[in-house]
Amino acid sequence: MKPTSFIINDKFVDEDNIVLVDEAHLLWTQGKQSYQGQNQLQDIIKKSRITIAVFDPQQVLRTQQYVEDDDLRKIEENAKNNGNLIELKTQLRMNASQETINWIKTFVYQQEIIPFPENDAKYDLKIFDDPQEMYEQLKIKNQNQESGLSRILATFDWEFKEKKSGTTDLYKVEVDGLSLPWNNQLKSSNKYLSWAERPETINEAGSTYTIQGFDLNYSAVIIGPSVKYRDGKVIYDPDFSANRNAVSNRTLKNGKKQKVYDTLLPNELNVLLTRGINGLYIYAVDDELRIALLSAQGQ
């Protein structure tokens, strides 16, 4: 069931439910549409005898999903006090060494660019100086039966809106000679497949909203101008993000409005950079960031 349907359904009032919530970080933490509560996960817990929630704070992407530290701590402490807090430490998606995973996390969250990991023969991590070359190499991987299912992704730094009926203009990711329409705008061969599984989407750029929760064999990520490199530090610039769900104000429990992009924009980048099972290609729009990444690669 959808979370709101479960919460507002009067049939579930006996608290004898066992509920599994996958991707619990996608639940709302404020009222929206037909949901009038303040925290969907807390409301689900109240209506259930047992709640099993898989929650990754580094995959919260929208202000409507933002969890205040105190609320998350209370939920964790409640589970821990009952012996039910389980920390998952191993990332099975990426066929990469721990050094490679640490390199990505250091880049995203510590905002530092360190030298490339050595001797990771299983994972193809590569920085490009030309987005068109990156795209061409990705298409070769996508056609290869062994590597297969490869897609190009981008940070949400280019405008996208839901198209009105009859509109033919496409919203595009355009950078340094490469121009690709944003996801779900081309005529679909099978709308019942996920975005990444449709063959025509090799000609589109995917976002966090179409790739979160899915795996690719290879991913190529265009890091847009909202991610920069200045004075030896990676910085996140909300003025260059088109992701209103990440850069708009969030109203906290105390009624104050607060920007939380410093949490949400790194999470967006984290999701994009961890989709590839066997390889990750990166092109950065910001000149200083691209130079720093190429230098870390040894170029």
- Quick check: is 86 in a domain? no
Quote the Cα angle for 142-133-186, to 5°: 55
Rounded CA gap, 204 and 195, in Å? 10
- Quick check: is 88 in a domain? no
- Give the chain's mean pLDDT: 91
Please report how many Cα atoms fall inside a 13 Å half-sphere around the Cα of residue 176, on the Cβ side: 18
pTM of the model: 0.91
Quote the Cα angle for 241-69-114, to 5°: 55
Answer yes or no: is pLDDT of 33 > 90: no
Assigned token pair, 48: 């259930």
DSSP state of 32: B
Region 273-282: mean pLDDT is 96
Q: Which range of residues forms the domain containing residue 286?
A: 98-297
Cβ(186)–Cβ(203) below 8 Å: yes
Q: Do 116 and 239 belong to one domain?
A: yes
Mark residue 221 as left, alpha or beta (left: phi above 0; alpha: psi -120 to 50; beta: remaining): beta
* Model pLDDT for residues 136-171, shown as the tens digit of each residue: 999 999 998 776 899 999 999 999 876 654 456 789
How high is the pLDDT of residue 187?
82
- Quick check: is 139 in a domain? yes
Q: Which residues contact 15 (CB under 8 A, 6 or more apart)?
A: 46, 47, 48, 49
* Model pLDDT for residues 176-209, shown as the tens digit of each residue: 989 999 998 888 878 788 899 999 999 999 999 9
Residues of the chain above pLDDT 70, percent: 96
Cβ(223)–Cβ(285) below 8 Å: yes
Band (pLDDT 50/70/90 cuts) for residue 91 is low
| Final residue before a domain boundary, out of 50, 81, 112 | 81
How high is the pLDDT of residue 165?
46
- Quick check: is 91 in a domain? no
Q: Do 69 and 193 belong to one domain?
A: no
* Model pLDDT for residues 234-247, shown as the tens digit of each residue: 999 999 999 999 99
- Quick check: is 226 in a domain? yes
193 by DSSP, 3-state: which? coil
Report the domain count for the chain: 2
How high is the pLDDT of residue 16?
73
Answer yes or no: is pLDDT of 14 > 70: no
**Phi/psi at 130 (5° precision):** -140, 115
Q: Do 281 and 159 belong to one domain?
A: yes
Q: Do 36 and 108 belong to one domain?
A: no
Rounded CA gap, 199 and 161, in Å? 23
| Final residue before a domain boundary, out of 33, 54, 81 | 81
Cβ(38)–Cβ(6) below 8 Å: no
Task: Specify the range with the lowest mean pLDDT, choosing from 75-79, 276-280, 287-291.
Answer: 75-79
**Phi/psi at 16 (5° precision):** -115, 30
Q: Do 272 and 220 belong to one domain?
A: yes
Region 30-41: mean pLDDT is 87
Region 95-111: mean pLDDT is 95
Cβ(15)–Cβ(47) below 8 Å: yes
Name the nearest CA neighbour of 150 among 210, 215, 208: 215
- Quick check: is 90 in a domain? no
